[in-house]
Amino acid sequence: MSKQHVSTIVNGDPVEFLADPGMTLLDALRDELDLTGSKEGCGSGDCGACSVILDGRLVCSCLVLAPEAEGRRVETIEGLAHGSELHPLQQKFLEHAALQCGFCTPGLLMASKALLDVNPDPTESEARYWLAGNLCRCTGYDKIIRAVMDAAAELRQERV
Amino acid sequence: MAHVIAPSDCRQFTGGLAEFDVEADTVRRLISAMEARFPGLGDYVDRRMAIAIDGEIHQDAWSSPIGPDSEIYLIPKIGGG
Amino acid sequence: MSDVLDRPDIGHNAGDDLKVVGTRPIRPDGADKVTGRAAFGADFNMPGQLVGKVLRSPHAHARIVSIDAKKARALPGVKAIVTGADFPNLADEFHEGGEAASNLRDLAMNVMARDKALYDGHAVAAVAATSSAVADEALALITVVYEVLPHVQEVEAAMAQDAPLLHGRMFTEGLEARPDKPSNIAKRNRIARGDLDAGFAAADVIVEGRYTTQAVHQGYIEPHACVASWAADGQCSVWSSSQGQFMVRTYCAKVLGLEISNIRVTPAEIGGGFGGKTTVYLEPLALALSRQSGHPVKMVMTRDEVFRATGPTSGSVMYVRLGAKTDGTITAADVELKYQAGAFPGSPVGAGSMTALACYHIPNFRITGWDVVTNTPKVAAYRAPGAPISAFAVECAVDDLALKLGMDPIALREKNAVRDGMKASYGPTFQNIGYVETLEAIKTSPHYQIPLGPNQGRGVAVGFWFNVGGESTAALHVGEDGTAVVVTGNPDIGGSRASMAMMAAEALGIGVEKVRPIVADTASIGFSMLTGGSRTTFATGMAVVQAAEKVVAELKRRAALIWEVSADHVAWREGVAHCLDPAKTDKPPLSLEAIAAQSARTGGPISAQVSLNAQGAGPGFAAHICDVEIDPETGGVTVLRYTAAQDVGKAIHPAYVEGQIQGGVAQGVGWALNEEYIFDRDGKMENAGFLDYRVPVASDLPMIDAIMVEVPNPRHPFGAKGVGEVPIVPPLAAVANAVRAATGVRMCDLPLSPPKIRAVLDAKEG
Amino acid sequence: MSQLDYLAPATADEAVKALGGAGARAMAGGTDLLVQLRAGRAKPNVIVDLKRIAGAVGIRQEAGAFIIGAATSGAAIGEHAALVKAWPGVVEATNLIGSTQVQGRATLAGNLCNASPAADSVPAMIAARAVCVIIGPGGRREAPVEAICTAPGRTSLAPGEFVLEIRLPARPARASDAYLRLIPRTEMDIAVVGAGVSLVLDGAGVITDAQVSLGAVAPTALLVADASLALVGSKLDEAALAKLDAAARDACRPISDKRGTAEYRTKIAGVLARRAAAIAYSRAGGQA
């Protein structure tokens, strides 16, 4: 089993690592690049805790092979804030108490970012369906949806 | 005298007696008194039961005070999720 | 978003000019959690660590004839293999954890099977290897010879005379006479009052039913994970995600025969527990593998393992019979509860029995509970363990009674409600409870007034949980700049660090941003019982407040020293010392910061630690309303609206109290509609993944309105009662009652999945 | 140790060559393959990623037909306005596959070649008379979508062959399609039943052509000829809908499993066929 050399861009920075061909992008992020913000809750694409944005598309990094990332752009939770300034979604999640244990939070934030990138003014129903692939067992989703809607409103304000 | 009400699983020690009076001003003394009167009961209660004193549940609390007319319910210990 | 109903006549210790308690500050661990920095169980590594994996039984019930690991041991990269033979055999020893008290012998055998595998997924061997791939290959090379035995999973089947026996030596406890034959029935419990026959004879109306629920999993998103190191000198270190680092320490010590002082457990951030992380599965295995290999060992469960091998809660069969007068007075109740315990005794049927009728004042009743072992994973605590199950049966029956009597379901519950001074069904007399207030809150809620459309139905249900106190330790250290660190021994699952910091800040009279809360390892803080039973804000909070009070006393002493006055002449108000000595009225007040700056000269560091065993947790009551709409052609259910009112005592951080309520409701809705363990004919779990074990997703739920009723608990410094457990108690029946209202048919078997609903609608059509 | 290689060929010919070896598996989105890999249900020696083949990602139009590259994600399909307008049923079926995250990867070709009886896009594609362009050692061939799956997990593709493109035919005026599925939750489930209906109407609203396909009610997605007959010539009146319902139920040969009983699946097949037909009819401009 020969490892493959992978060059990719993670959160804007070029990185390189060696990957077993069957390694997932999630394992590469966590084990090779020490980016442990993306979580594994199921390993089968059913919980969304490993959500990252790959070339602009929201994906489960557990359903991407690490070598597929060659030459692509990966955005993870570690790149969401601008330096020490939190992204409005991060800030709204905190203000609305939209997390309890916080394990699903990185995935939910990346999924929410992907939503607001394509739909700056989602309805509650659109937000709920978009985020249906991100399981949260603590909150009942109420405060998460409120945080996303509030962040969307703030981002729209910023754009005006 | 405090009035003690024992559930079914304690009655193996009391000869089936469900209620009885005990002279005790703390949980520790209650347990000792129950053990003296019904051998095995004090130890069983100490290990396996919580003690509701006038409606308030006490677990592993030997020093909790018992009033002269307190109502004592022996109930299973409670944990939770 | 939510209303707060205060009852000022009882609010002697809450609401008195509180500056911090009752506000909604941003949680102190928040920034780490939204940036991916928080380190959960699987996010930690030790240098030189190996990967540990578990070989699990593919059979629901089998004798382990032999285990041959020679080939696996010979595989390059394999560093350790352990089986049941590597663990000491323990005698029966009860470790009291409440209703799910565990026999340590059973715990050890659940961690690693000995002579028999008792469920699909039961651990039979574990390996440690240099990589995940090598570990997988090693597992495949271990040959286990099984003698497959007949298995039994349904609770009533397991109770049958001719059922296959899981344990040859189990004789039912709690019967009048000890049985002469072993069985799968571990225990019978009974609670009774009055004269049942007379009660039913006095009834004008009687309803009865048989109800079933399926095993459901806590469904935390973070799989169990740990890293363990057994050093050459016997000093053990464990990093793990659990609800209690001290629990992990105790259980590892017992299972491995170690001294507690040799084990240091560091709590990781925990990615949800809900009771499911109140026991150990991996930690003793990782330590045993580390001992054998001489390397640290990391173990992380797959989701499949989480479902197959860790604690669901019980499936059940229940019978309820209620009698009432035409005016709605309930005269008699007979409740029988049969709960699956899984492979070892310890279902939460005791708590299920005690809570079943706890909301009702009924003169004549009998509650019988059966704890039954089955070839399914050993149940673990799940949020108000046992209570949602029995509440499902009782609340459905009460709903049927309301229908039969032509009474409003809330009015019927009000008529029979327990109130202060009444005896609980489980014995003690209630004090300071806020139950009728929650009924009032839902009755007057906007939700209850909304008219329903076609195929829509509204359900009401109530619930109870005791809440507990117990042992906790808290330390409070004042820094030389006047800020403070509050240290506790309770893992923070749902925001408890925020409430600890808030209570400390309130008691000290400083801003919450000046207090940093820390959850410490087992060597760095005194013993604390695990985070569970809704005890942390109550019991650990009490320790925090007492520590803060001790610090305040010390600060006053230091101020007195600085001012050269008697300590009696120092008052502490809002974080500032005031000099009351009539001879020295010119002394300007001394802030905490100013006193802290002088701490070296005035006696050294200012800190306090309090260890206590908190008693007097106030019970929690909840009343819920659920609206659903049925698709009559498909049997699909949409939850349209949900409102949950709960007596929370005093909400320390209202947003996280609402969050507890909303989360509990969501879990309960999942339990009612779609979640269940499904086993095939061979007793293997068929849906061990989030695809087919269907927890609610965001689009399945509406907003969940949380109404916080505040009837303070006089035993807590700010009036807090536990809030995490009770919200999961009413939803099963609230949903089922709404479905009954929408369909006109009572369905008694959870989950209320579309095929079942379509089938009853077809049957109704004739 | 098991050997596994990952290849990402740039041309179809290279892909054919790579897939010629024993134990090679083509990967489009990978959302099924990676789950199977992890569960040990698939043990390929080589994974051949189709995403870097020129033309494998993207949608183009030729004489009114849509040609969808094998590795085009569901998300991209959902964003293609002309495709959404012409084939709303195929697009909605595609977009029902998994979560938003899965949509970022999952493909029509992958959904088809995974050969699950419950694949959402397959009944919609069959109803649409979609055709696969297949490349293999023997060159290029075309096959209707319904000819691909032969049994659960099995396809008619020969060793070394893979689906390069899927073609959806040009649409006449007053034509549309719809897909509905039943799942216990609102999202994230495998279809218990799926129904795709494609209709063409004349100026008077009479159905002149109908294709009805059902998923998850037989080992492979069904093309229900009797259901088409029930609809053609009607204005989707009650009688036609009742005939459609009956024809759909008659065609079912479902199993009972953890996701639904045979009896329930059969009933729901009729319900969904009716509902999908009503949606397609309305989309095509018909007034019921």
Q: In what side-by-side order are the strands of the sheet with C62-68? A: C116-117, C62-68, C143-148
Cα C505 to Cα C476: distance, rounded to the nearest angstrom: 11
Write down the pLDDT at residue D288.
66
CB-CB neighbours of C292 under 10 Å: 17
Cα angle vertex B35, ends B33, B39, to 5°? 145
Cα C364 to Cα C332: distance, rounded to the nearest angstrom: 5
pLDDT of residue C98 exceeding 60: no
Chain C environment of A52 (Cβ under 8 Å): none
Task: Report whether C286 contacts C238 (CB < 8 A).
Answer: yes
Give me the residue from C678, C694, C759 closest to D184, CB to CB: C694
Neighbours of chain C (3+ CB pairs under 8 A): A, B, D
- Look up residue C202 and give its amino acid: A
Chain A interface, Cβ < 8 Å to D = 1-2, 4, 20-22, 24, 43-46, 48, 51, 54, 57-60, 62-65, 67-68, 70, 111, 114-115, 129-134
Write down the pLDDT at residue C403.
98
Write down the pLDDT at residue C97.
58
B60 touches C: beta carbon within 8 Å: yes
pLDDT of residue C95 exceeding 80: no
Write down the pLDDT at residue A1.
54
Q: Which residue do the tokens 């006095």 mark?
A: C202
pLDDT of residue C653 exceeding 90: yes
Write down the pLDDT at residue C175.
86
Chain A environment of C689 (Cβ under 8 Å): 42, 44, 46
DSSP C463: E
| Confidence class for position C12, pLDDT limits 50, 70, 90 | very low
Cα C541 to Cα C537: distance, rounded to the nearest angstrom: 5
D3 touches C: beta carbon within 8 Å: no
CB-CB neighbours of D250 under 10 Å: 14
Write down the pLDDT at residue D44.
95
Separation in Å, CA D238 to CA C335, D206, D247, D274: 50, 14, 14, 10
Q: Which helix (H) or strand (E) holds D127?
A: helix D121-127
- The answer to whether C and D touch (≥3 CB pairs < 8 Å) is yes
Give me the residue from D6, D35, D103 closest to A65, CB to CB: D6
Separation in Å, CA C556 to CA C501, C562, C606, C609: 21, 10, 11, 17
Question: Mapping DSSP to helix (H, G, I), strand (E, B) and coil, where does residue A38 land?
Answer: coil
Task: Report whether A120 contacts A152 (CB < 8 A).
Answer: yes
Cα C199 to Cα C196: distance, rounded to the nearest angstrom: 5
Asked if D105 lies within 8 A of A21 by C-beta distance, the reply is no
Give me the residue from A30, A131, A138 closest to C272, CB to CB: A138
| Three-state secondary structure readout of chain B | CEEEECCHHHHHHHCCCCEEEECCCEHHHHHHHHHHHCCCHHHHHHHHEEEEECCEEECCCCCCECCCCCEEEEEECCCCC
Tell me which residue of C237, C236, C240, C214 sits closest to C225, measured CA to CA.
C240
Q: What average pLDDT is seen over chain C? A: 95
Tell me which residue of C575, C503, C491, C502 sits closest to C543, measured CA to CA.
C503
Min distance D271 CA to chain C CA atoms (Å)? 7
DSSP bridge pairs for D67? D60, D167
| Confidence class for position C766, pLDDT limits 50, 70, 90 | confident
Tell me which residue of C249, C230, C233 sits closest to C526, measured CA to CA.
C249
Say if residue D236 is exposed, middle or buried (CB neighbours under 10 Å; 0-12, 13-18, 19+). Answer: buried
Cα C25 to Cα D28: distance, rounded to the nearest angstrom: 47
| Confidence class for position C612, pLDDT limits 50, 70, 90 | very high
Asked if D99 lies within 8 A of A60 by C-beta distance, the reply is yes
Write down the pLDDT at residue C7.
34
Write down the pLDDT at residue C99.
53
Q: Which two tokens stand for residue C487?
A: 């240290």
pLDDT in tens, C433-443: 999 999 999 99
Tell which wins on pLDDT, C121 or C92: C121
C92 touches B: beta carbon within 8 Å: no
Cα D155 to Cα D112: distance, rounded to the nearest angstrom: 9
Buried b (16+ CB within 10 A) or exposed e, C680-716: eeebbbbbbbbbbbbbbbbbbbbbbbbbbbbbbbbbb
Chain C environment of D259 (Cβ under 8 Å): 692
pLDDT in tens, C692-747: 999 999 999 999 999 999 999 999 999 999 999 999 999 999 999 999 999 999 99
Asked if D105 lies within 8 A of A46 by C-beta distance, the reply is no
- Look up residue C354 and give its amino acid: M
pLDDT of residue B62 exceeding 70: yes
Q: Give the residue ranges of chain D where pLDDT is below 50.
A: 1
Cα A72 to Cα C371: distance, rounded to the nearest angstrom: 56
Query: In this structure, which long-range contacts are made by residues A4-8, counting pairs with CB atoms below 8 Å and at least 24 apart in sequence?
Result: A4/A66, A4/A67, A4/D6, A6/A66, A6/A67, A6/A69, A6/A70, A7/A70, A7/A71, A8/A69, A8/A70, A8/A71, A8/A72, A8/A73, A8/A74
Write down the pLDDT at residue B8.
80
Tell which wins on pLDDT, C1 or C501: C501
Write down the pLDDT at residue D287.
83
Q: Which residue do the tokens 């409103």 mark?
A: A153
First-residue to last-residue Cα distance in chain D? 63
Residues 259-278 of chain C whose Cβ lies under 8 A from any Cβ of chain B: 273-276, 278
Q: Give the gyration radius of chain A's Cα atoms.
A: 16
What does the pLDDT average to over C448-457? 98
Asked if D185 lies within 8 A of C633 by C-beta distance, the reply is no
Q: Which residue do the tokens 């004269």 mark?
A: C195
DSSP bridge pairs for D132? D143, D166
Percent of chain C with pLDDT over 70: 97
- Look up residue C489 and give its amino acid: G
Sign of CA dihedral D121, D122, D123, D125: positive
pLDDT in tens, C414-434: 999 999 999 999 988 999 999
pLDDT in tens, C144-201: 999 999 999 999 999 999 999 999 889 998 888 889 999 999 999 999 999 999 999 9
- Alpha carbons within 13 A on the beta-carbon side of A85: 2
pLDDT in tens, B13-37: 998 898 999 999 999 999 999 999 9
| Three-state secondary structure readout of C484-542 | EEEEECCCCCCCHHHHHHHHHHHHHCCCHHHEEEEECCCCCCCCCCCCCCCCHHHHHHH
Write down the pLDDT at residue C13.
44
Q: Which residue do the tokens 């197959």 mark?
A: C308
- Look up residue C699 and give its amino acid: S
pLDDT of residue C100 exceeding 60: no
DSSP bridge pairs for D180? D195
pLDDT in tens, C329-347: 999 999 999 999 999 999 9
Q: Which two tokens stand for residue D31?
A: 């959302």
Write down the pLDDT at residue C5.
37
Cα D46 to Cα D26: distance, rounded to the nearest angstrom: 8
Give me the residue from A43, A59, A65 closest to D101, CB to CB: A59
Tell me which residue of D189, D188, D196, D182 sits closest to D87, measured CA to CA.
D196
Chain C interface, Cβ < 8 Å to D = 133-134, 137, 304, 633-636, 673-674, 678, 686-687, 690-692, 694, 696-697, 699-700, 753-755, 758-759, 762
pLDDT in tens, D182-202: 999 999 999 999 999 999 999
| Confidence class for position C93, pLDDT limits 50, 70, 90 | confident
pLDDT of residue C14 exceeding 70: no
Write down the pLDDT at residue C101.
61
pLDDT of residue C16 exceeding 80: no
A103 contacts: CB under 8 Å, gap ≥ 6: A39, A41, A49, C40, C220, C221, C222, C269, C271, C272
Strands C116-117 and C123-129: unpaired
DSSP C565: S
Write down the pLDDT at residue A132.
98
pLDDT of residue C585 exceeding 90: no
Rounded to the nearest 10°, the torsion over CA C399, B80, C116, C371 is -40
Min distance D202 CA to chain C CA atoms (Å)? 31
φ and ψ of C10, to 5 deg: -105, -10
Write down the pLDDT at residue D150.
97
Give me the residue from B54, B75, B77 closest to C426, CB to CB: B75
Percent of chain A with pLDDT over 90: 97
